[in-house]
Amino acid sequence: MNSLKTAAAGLALALAACNPQPMGKPAEPPLAGARIGGPFTLANGDGKTVTDRDFAGKYRIVYFGYTFCPDVCPVDVQTIGAGLKAFEARDAAKGAKVLPIFITVDPERDTAPVVKAFAANFHPRMVGLTGTPQQVTAIAKAYGIFFQKGKVAPGGGYMMDHSRQAYLMDPDGKPLALLPVEGGADKVADELQRWVK
């Protein structure tokens, strides 16, 4: 009889494993406590000096790239903008709490007007930021972003090698999660819905 009960219990466990229950929200964001982000000083698209304190109280999507990028950066930034728009359509009040920020890793070419025009193409509230090479290096290091200038072509053009992450930061500037830009706008919206309160 005991072996029958044991077999029944084993079968019940096996069936439960085949049909897992939907999981609730994780108790803690995946990047909670990570040493990502921190104070910074840069320039916005109008050439005005801004610091991390100017964005306090907002959830921030932070993405590093460059405007002369021929493929990856525009696609990623478009996905971020579309994902935020999709999230805003689901919940306008929560969507208004999120600010997308594009930070160049190519300050030599990406001047304030250039980053402003670039960011405006993807979301009406997206902020483009640039700075001196030292300022850009400092914030990239704070966010764990690798970048370097590629080989200069005979005509003077060049590519930038860089990390490809989109961070979601909380209103205090602490990291919450990486946004799955490779999964498309709906996946970005889902992740925003998961963490924006």
CB 101 within 8 A of CB 55: yes
Distance CA 51, CA 42 (A): 6
Instruction: Give pLDDT tens digits for 75-133.
Output: 999 999 999 999 999 999 999 999 999 999 999 999 999 999 999 999 999 999 999 99
Determine the distance from the C-alpha atom of residue 159 to the mean position of all C-alpha atoms in its chain, rounded to a whole number. Answer: 22
The structure's pTM equals: 0.85
Neighbours of 94 (CB within 10 A): 15
Neighbours of 58 (CB within 10 A): 17
Q: How confident is the model at residue 27 (pLDDT cuts 50, 70, 90)?
A: confident
CATH number at 39-195: 3.40.30.10
The pLDDT value given to residue 22: 45
CB 86 within 8 A of CB 112: no
